[in-house]
Chains A and B, each alone.
Chain A
């Protein structure tokens, strides 16, 4: 459910209706998102789930699956 919501945010934010987005997809490498767009996606995720994601944690994300797991962990402890 977290992953689906995050996928929706990314499609919405970046206008990527048809792109293939999977847990292994990397924002910067596969979707060729620039750093500012990536920050915006993170900001939207923060707003959507009402959490704060510090920079150190962002740097550790390798793919969207990592982000979904991170959010799940934050929300469900």
Chain B
């Protein structure tokens, strides 16, 4: 129960990797606030599953790329719980397409949700973390933010942006007791990757030294570690969880 008494906000936490992270943190004692833009049914199912682990949990609908929605969400949490100990910036989308045909709107939407969302959520919680002299933020980047990937110029730019953001923010607030790290998942089986064409999937597989796709829980394990006291001397890092794909 390494996280007992802590409260954690997980963005995009209703399904996929975010949900696996929320469950993992809950299993270790943290109260969970699930943020998402998913339908009520999905949000409710996730909340019920988390509550079964014996921690407090509620879902808040807010678009991470919308400043006023993020502000309202964070004020509500701070008022109710008095603090946010852990923020997991996980919400993310893809709008894949070759660069020559990529619409500006697809570029902008991906940047807004994946990168601006991280900025807005981090900015909203950082003040309270700084004054408490403690806090922990984990941003979900991606292996393609390190290696690049054809068809994902927008997505990989947003994920590379998260890595730079993580380093700068870690340097700014380290002296205030706040740690910020990133995790760069490789090919993880979720709804996001399920929709990829078979050919793309098997191409990925060829390049994974460990010879298989990853599971959401394997990402969640690393996120948990980065939220725990035992990672207290790690900040500003991006940890690949990719079976060696980025090597």
Contact call A40/B131, Cβ cutoff below 8 A: yes
User: Any chain A CB within 8 A of the CB of B123?
Assistant: no
- Distance, CA A32 to CA B173, complexed state (A): 18
User: Any chain A CB within 8 A of the CB of B172?
Assistant: yes
Neighbouring B residues of A40 by C-beta, 8 Å: 130-131, 176
Neighbouring A residues of B127 by C-beta, 8 Å: 43
Contact call B131/A36, Cβ cutoff below 8 A: no
Minimum Cβ distance to chain A for residue B83 (Å): 14
Minimum Cβ distance to chain A for residue B5 (Å): 24
User: Any chain B CB within 8 A of the CB of A11?
Assistant: no
Interface residues on A, range: under 10
Contact call B131/A44, Cβ cutoff below 8 A: yes
Binary A-proximity of B135-177 (CB < 8 A = 1, otherwise 0): 0000000000000000000000000000000000000110110
- Distance, CA A40 to CA B175, complexed state (A): 12
Chain B at the A interface: mostly helix, strand, loop or mixed?
Answer: helix
Binary B-proximity of A38-52 (CB < 8 A = 1, otherwise 0): 001001100000000
Most chain B beta carbons < 10 A, residue from A36, A43, A44: A36
Minimum Cβ distance to chain B for residue A41 (Å): 11
Minimum Cβ distance to chain A for residue B177 (Å): 12
Interface residues on B, range: under 10
Binary B-proximity of A19-59 (CB < 8 A = 1, otherwise 0): 00000000000000000100010011000000000000000
Minimum Cβ distance to chain A for residue B153 (Å): 33
- Distance, CA A3 to CA B127, complexed state (A): 24
Contact call A43/B176, Cβ cutoff below 8 A: no
Neighbouring A residues of B176 by C-beta, 8 Å: 36, 40
Minimum Cβ distance to chain A for residue B181 (Å): 19
Neighbouring B residues of A43 by C-beta, 8 Å: 127, 130-131
Residue of A nearest to B174 (CB): A36
Residue of B nearest to A35 (CB): B172
- Distance, CA A18 to CA B174, complexed state (A): 27
Binary A-proximity of B95-136 (CB < 8 A = 1, otherwise 0): 000000000000000000000000000000001001100000
- Distance, CA A44 to CA B127, complexed state (A): 10
Minimum Cβ distance to chain A for residue B91 (Å): 26
Minimum Cβ distance to chain A for residue B112 (Å): 23
A residues sitting closer than 8 Å to B (CB atoms) are: 36, 40, 43-44
- 9 further A-B contacts with Cβ under 8 Å, apart from A36-B175, A40-B130, are A36-B172, A36-B173, A36-B176, A40-B131, A40-B176, A43-B127, A43-B130, A43-B131, A44-B131
